[in-house]
Every structure is written in structure tokens, then in C-alpha cells.
Amino acid sequence: MSDQRKWVTMGDVARHAGVGTITVSRALRTPAKVSADTLKKVHKAVAALGYVRDDTAGALSSQRSRIVGALVSTLEQPVFASTIRGLEEGLRQGGLQLLLGSTRYQPDTEARMVSTLLGRRPDALILTSTTHTDETRRLLDNAGLPVVELWELPRDPVFAAVGFSNRAAGRDMVRHLVGSGRDRPAFLRTARASDTRADLREQGYRDALDGRAPRILAVPPHEDDSGPDYGARGLAQVLDRWPDTDALVCVSDALAVGAWCEAMRRGIEIPRRLAITGFGDIDIAGASGIGLTTVRVDGEAIGREAARLTIAATAGAPVQDRIIDLGYTLRVRATG
């Protein structure tokens, strides 16, 4: 940390280069509108002074912050890692910057963060959730900016959505299990109040039961417990309650991996005695030693597509498809 010296301003650069401030602005923002000669002078001055433009001031005068706020449900699990990567890269190409936050699946946290984010006057907002408090919904509606919701396909998106049908995916997975002879599948999830994606997958599970009695276990949230811990606890409780369960459909890969570990510890043969499936296809799911059967979602594509939509919308281009379904793939591996 150096001394209290103030920042170099655009005016300083202009003086040093012998041009007007506005020319410096153009040289940096729209180089095509400036002569090659002037451009060189400006760049030299910028380098000499170590100038870094104040985008905060730029945002104020242009009424465009070039910031896109994004709120993901969790950063603890890598589910959204690829989506964030896709988003970040896509937005960067459009000259936009990602302002990231995590809601931890709590609607009130989401409300607070949306409010904070709006204070930075982002050009758009991206949310990996479609369940909002009334307060949040009001803020979003009044903000007058594009809002893109991810990983689901809400019936009435605030503005647009990119995702897939969680319900269909859940249904397909259970059908696959039933089709390969599993007759008593159980569904394992965490008991979170507003995890719409989990609700939808559970609904898909019910859809596919076809008259069989549902075996649904919602592990209560517990301080300091992580995904795999829930999975291990969940498996124990499921077997406790329904000992003859022959397939465990987990709402996420993190849970599935935890359940798998617990099964290994107990010496339960997988998949002969018990099939285990996950959701998301995170990196570890594919590890050869586990080989988790799961639903693959192309998170990076979701991110890229959301970025494309966002760039188009902020540029004022008309957006045709407001609900984009990118689908999913059943990835059948060793565990079921």
C-alpha cells in the first residue's frame, strides 16, 4: 500500500497527451473514432501515468454500469461452477463484468442481496432461482432491467429463463431405474424451505412411481453439515425406515456421493443390492472409482446462453425466446 496519492484522472492523461479529455475517453472506449496518431499518444500517456479509468464515474454519466449482478444458490458445492465460468466468459466478450453473490438458498438473503446489487445499478441481473419473496419480485419488476433466471423453466419468468425441466429429468431417472428392475426406489433430498429445483425433481420422482408407494426422505438441515454428510445420514435413515429399498435417487451429486461413501462403509453392494443416482454430474461423479449414474446438465452452456441473452437485451435488441430449454442427459454409469 503506497501513500495517499490520489488517482490519476482522465484530465491528467489528456494534458499529458496534449488532447482533450473527451478524446481520451473515446480513445479508450471507442478507438475506431479516433485517429491512429492520437490513439498512440493517448496510449503512451496512459502507460506513462499508470492510468486506470474510473468506471464508477463512467457508469454515472452514461447510465450504463456494464455490470451484471449474479446470485447463485450456493458456492459451497461446485454445481454452478461451470455456469459461472460460461457466464463470465460470455459477458466479458460483451464488455460486461460479473458481480457475484451467493444466496445460500435463503429467500430473505436473496432479497437483501438483490437490493444491495441494485444499488450498484447493474445493467442486468441473473438468478439461479425462481422463487422470490414478494419484496424481491417487486424490486425486480420495478427495476426495469433484464432479469435472467437459470436452471429452471418458470412459467412466468421476470424477463427470461435458461434451463431445463427438473421434473422431467427426475421422472426420466426414476423410469430408468424402474425399467432396469428396481421396484422400490426412494428419494433423498435436504429439507430446505425454498429449493424449487428439489421440489420439481421430487415431483418427477412421484410421476414415475406408477402406483408404488413413495419413499421420500428430507434430511433436516443441520449446522455445519455439508452435502456429503447429509447423504450419509440420509442413506442411514432411508434404510432404517425402508430396509428393502433397492434404489436411492438423490437430489444432488453431493448427496449421492455421501450416500455412496456410507454404503461402501457398510459393505452394501452397489449396484447389485442398491442403486444410487445423483444430479448435476459434478467433477467427482465421473471419477472412475465411483462412476455415479446421474443427470448431466451442461452448466457452461446455460451460462453462455444467459450471457448471450443478457448482452442482446442490454444492447436493446429484441429478445424472441424468453424461455430457453437446454435439456439434460441421463448419464448411466456404474452405480445404477
Which whole-number Å values give the CA distances from 143 to 96, 120, 122, 137, 139, in the listed order? 19, 12, 10, 10, 6
193 binds, among DNA, a second copy, none (CB under 5 to 8 A by kind): none
Question: Does residue 59 belong to the site contacting a second copy (CB under 8 A)?
Answer: yes
Residue 226 CB contacts under 8 Å (≥ 6 apart), including other chains = 76, 254
Report the residue from 15, 43, 53, 308 that binds DNA according to the rule CB under 7 A: 53
Question: Does residue 57 belong to the site contacting a second copy (CB under 8 A)?
Answer: yes
Question: Does residue 7 belong to the site contacting DNA (CB under 7 A)?
Answer: yes
β-pairing, 294-296 with 329-331?
antiparallel
Residue 119 CB, nearest distance to a second copy (Å)?
Answer: 4
Residue 168 CB, nearest distance to a second copy (Å)?
Answer: 27
Report the residue from 16, 34, 147, 256 that binds DNA according to the rule CB under 7 A: 34
Residue type, position 265, single letter: R
Site string for a second copy, 245-284 (x = CB under 8 A): ---------x--xx-xxxxxx-----------------xx
Among 53, 60, 80, CA closest to 302: 80
E strands present in 40-105: 67-72, 97-102
Residue 329 CB, nearest distance to DNA (Å)?
Answer: 43
For residues 132 and 196, the answer to whether their CB atoms sit within 8 Å is no
38 binds, among DNA, a second copy, none (CB under 5 to 8 A by kind): DNA
Assign residue 121 a region (left: φ > 0; alpha: ψ between -120 and 50; beta: otherwise). left
Looking at residues 204 to 223 of the shown chain, list those that interact with a second copy (rule: CB under 8 A). none
C-alpha 178: how far from chain center: 31
Looking at residues 56 to 85 of the shown chain, list those that interact with DNA (rule: CB under 7 A). 57-58, 60-64
Residues that bind DNA (CB under 7 A): 6-7, 9-11, 18-23, 25-26, 28-29, 33-35, 37-38, 53-54, 57-58, 60-64
